[in-house]
């Protein structure tokens, strides 16, 4: 029996490493889970992309849930995500708020003209200060914010049809259940 112990030890290690490899294929290792989930979204006041003289604030958006989608014209993965937002954005049941991150306004406008604009409104954060408050560290990122201004769900990386059916829709359904 104890002659077999080293073999068992070896098999245990193989199992551990195998689990590690499997585990790392199941999720994005670079993803940093946000500590802001189920916490109030940071207060913000940001100018509209189309009309910088007008601003949108957290307070002005209270009362209805919305999906804040961080994008930028320089962001490659946003181009991957965009067709999904164009196709399904209007059927989500929440307002889609574009958040143009560290972008030149003209580049962003051209980008939206070229690829289509799925957003009800687009706010611009050129210096990226508000994005730090949101814990944004890249684009695309998406925040589902409820009627009370609480962040309920965050997705890091492009939104795909799979993400919508598996994660976003259930999260939105949960919001609608509590405040019809």
Partner 1 sequence: MLFGTRDRRSALARDALVNGGRARASRASALLRLLLVAMVVFAGVAHSQAIQPLPFKNRAEKVRFQHLTSQLRCLVCQNETIADSNAELARDLRLDVFQQMQQGRSDKQIKQYLVARYSDFVLYDPPLQADTLLLWFGPLLILLAGAAVVVIAIRRRSRDAGTTAQVPAGQAPTDNEDDW
Work out whether 132 is an interface residue with partner 1 (CB under 8 A). Answer: yes
Is 180 a binding residue for partner 1 by CB under 8 A? The answer is no
Stretch that binds partner 1, among 17-25, 77-85, 104-112, 125-133 (CB under 8 A): 125-133
- Smallest distance, partner 1 to C-beta of residue 19, A: 16
Please state, in angstroms and rounded to a whole number, the distance separating the CA atoms of residues 10 and 25.
23
For residue 14, the minimal CB distance to partner 1 (Å) is 17
Listed in order, strand segments (DSSP E) in the chain are: 45-47, 55-57, 66-71, 95-101, 121-125, 141-145, 151-156
Distances (CA, A) of 3 to 15, 16, 98: 20, 22, 64
Token couple for 79? 């181009």
Q: Interface with partner 1 includes 102 (CB under 8 A)? A: yes
Q: Least distance (Å) from partner 1 to the CB of residue 83? A: 25
At its nearest, how many Å lie between partner 1 and the CB of residue 92?
26
Which member of 45, 133, 162, 170 binds partner 1 (CB under 8 A)? 133
Concatenated DSSP letters of 64-90: S-EEEEEE-TT-HHHHHHHHHHHHHGG
CB 116 within 8 A of CB 89: no
Interacting residues with partner 1 (CB under 8 A): 1-3, 5-6, 30, 32-36, 102, 127-129, 132-135, 137-138
């Amino acid at each position: 029996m104890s002659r077999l112990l080293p073999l068992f030890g070896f098999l245990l290690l193989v199992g551990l490493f195998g689990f590690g490899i499997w585990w790392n294929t199941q999720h994005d290792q670079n993803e940093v889970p946000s500590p802001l989930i189920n916490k109030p979204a940071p207060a913000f006041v940001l100018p509209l992309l189309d009309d910088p003289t007008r601003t949108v604030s957290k307070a002005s958006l209270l009362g209805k849930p919305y999906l804040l989608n961080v994008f930028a014209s320089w962001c490659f993965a946003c181009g991957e995500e965009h067709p999904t937002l164009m196709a399904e954005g209007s059927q989500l049941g929440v307002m889609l708020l574009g958040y143009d991150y560290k972008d030149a306004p003209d580049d962003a406008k051209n980008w939206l003209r070229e690829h289509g604009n799925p957003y009800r409104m687009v706010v611009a954060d050129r210096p990226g200060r508000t994005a730090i408050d949101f814990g944004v560290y890249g684009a695309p990122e998406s925040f589902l914010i409820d009627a009370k201004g609480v962040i309920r769900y965050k997705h890091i990386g492009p939104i795909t049809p799979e993400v919508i059916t598996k994660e976003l829709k259930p999260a939105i359904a949960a919001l609608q259940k509590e405040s019809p």
